[in-house]
Amino acid sequence: MRSFLIDTDTASDDAVAIMMALAAPDVWVLALTTVAGNVGLEQATSNALLTAEICGSDVPVFAGAGRPLIRALQDAHWFHGYDGLGDHGYPAPKRRHEREHAIDAIVRLAHAEPGLTLVTLGPLTNIALALARDPEIAAKIGRCVVMGGAPCEGNVTPAAEFNIWVDPEAARAVFRSRLKIEMVGWHVSRGASVLSDEEIAAIEALGTAKAHFAIQSNSRAREAYHTQTGEIGLSLADPTAMAVALDRTVGLSWSRHRIAIETQSELTRGMTVVDRLNVSADANNAEVWDAAAGEHEAAHIVWTIDSGRFKTMLKAALAA
Ligand SMILES: [Ca+2]
């Protein structure tokens, strides 16, 4: 069994990603750790617990950071609804979150389960704080699959994707760490990865509680995505990252580059500046880059995914 730790600002697409992980037969989800992002921390934690409940899972849920490192939280209720789940009046979860803080849980589990896969579906605040608490965990974690970034175009500003934009200082700390990062940007959840109206109807026709919840809770996101991009259908960013975490071969084209996170400019705040031509390796540029970006490891970036396989995995997870 592979061990997963999922860090999430649980809104509607996080919920679907969590359902995929909990349904994977070869994956043991050690914990869900929550962070403020799409919604506030309390709501994210409640949504994580409710999602686990719908899956019949008693995975422990740990609450983490209630705001970005140095900025005020700007949530995404305009995209996911005020409750993050499309405002359908879902009941409160029956279970409560654990007493232990998410930061403590991340550090503890990284040591207890060396080689674990960390999947981040929200702002990187908890991960930055855990790395600050104990930098050794970077070497203990086998993979860190990050849903975040926009090497092409962003969804908050033209330069930036939400998870990175909300807490760019945390993202910078994480991308400068020795974590073995695999970045799944927002772009792979677009285009062919968008569920068409027919595909959405086919999922609803599965008739399971999970399928119903997955589609209904994303109703607001479906509308907002259309407003934002003109594309019709349901774009599920976090589930695409989860599909890559569950099966790396879902990512079709990968390359490895240094990535710097912009924190100073308001125009390009949270931009994932990808050294796609590896110009920083050139001695002429190294000094300039290092001064601006800091010395750090390269990350793996997935540029395209197998959208058909992603949808097959999604449907299988919601069918049971
Ligand atoms: Ca998320």
Instruction: End-to-end CA distance of the chain: give it in Å, rounded.
Output: 20
For tokens 């409560």, the residue is 96
Report CA(225)–ligand 1 centroid distance (Å): 15
pLDDT over threshold 90, residue 212 = yes
Q: Can you give the pLDDT at residue 38?
A: 97
Report CA(238)–ligand 1 centroid distance (Å): 6
What is the number of other CB atoms lying within 10 angstroms of the CB of residue 120? 30
Report CA(169)–ligand 1 centroid distance (Å): 18
Q: Can you give the pLDDT at residue 293?
A: 78
Report CA(292)–ligand 1 centroid distance (Å): 28
Report CA(21)–ligand 1 centroid distance (Å): 14
Q: Can you give the pLDDT at residue 74?
A: 95
Instruction: Take residue 70 and report the two structure tokens written for it.
Output: 């140095």
Spell 159-174 as b/e; 16+ CB within 10 A means b.
bbbbbbbbbbbbbbbb
Report CA(108)–ligand 1 centroid distance (Å): 23
- Sign of the C-alpha dihedral computed for residues 70, 239, 1 and 248 taken in this order: negative
Report CA(12)–ligand 1 centroid distance (Å): 8
Confidence of residue 284 (pLDDT cuts 50, 70, 90): confident
C-alpha closest to that of 316 among 248, 249, 242? 242
Confidence of residue 300 (pLDDT cuts 50, 70, 90): very high
pLDDT over threshold 90, residue 31 = yes
For tokens 């695409």, the residue is 240
Report CA(118)–ligand 1 centroid distance (Å): 14
For tokens 């994580």, the residue is 48
Instruction: Take residue 91 and report the two structure tokens written for it.
Output: 């009941």
Report CA(308)–ligand 1 centroid distance (Å): 22
Name all domains of the chain by residue range, CATH numbers in brackets: 2-319 (3.90.245.10)
pLDDT over threshold 90, residue 151 = no
Average pLDDT over residues 43-54: 98
Phi, psi of 66 (to 5 degrees): -90, -5
Q: Can you give the pLDDT at residue 144?
A: 98
Cβ neighbours of residue 149 closer than 8 Å, sequence gap 6 or more = 161, 163, 164, 183, 185, 186, 259, 272
pLDDT tens per residue, range 237-260: 999 999 999 999 999 999 999 999
For tokens 């125009």, the residue is 267
Spell 244-279 as b/e; 16+ CB within 10 A means b.
bbbeeebbeeeeebbbbbbbeeeebbbbbbbbeeee
Report CA(231)–ligand 1 centroid distance (Å): 20
Average pLDDT over residues 6-21: 98
User: What are the C-alpha distances in Å from 257 to residues 60, 244, 253?
Assistant: 35, 18, 13
**DSSP collapsed to 3 states, 181-213:** EEEECHHHHCHHHCECHHHHHHHHCCCCHHHHH
In 82-207, the DSSP E strands lie at 117-120, 143-147, 181-184
What is the number of other CB atoms lying within 10 angstroms of the CB of residue 18? 30
Report CA(191)–ligand 1 centroid distance (Å): 19
- Sign of the C-alpha dihedral computed for residues 112, 31, 66 and 143 taken in this order: positive
Report CA(67)–ligand 1 centroid distance (Å): 14
CA–CA distance, 223 with 87 (Å, rounded to integer): 13
Report CA(82)–ligand 1 centroid distance (Å): 14
Least confident of 114-128, 220-234, 274-288: 274-288
Contact 138, 177 (CB under 8 A): yes
Report CA(63)–ligand 1 centroid distance (Å): 15
CA–CA distance, 83 with 10 (Å, rounded to integer): 10
Q: Can you give the pLDDT at residue 241?
A: 98
Report CA(256)–ligand 1 centroid distance (Å): 24
The secondary structure of residue 93, as a DSSP letter, is: P
Report CA(122)–ligand 1 centroid distance (Å): 4
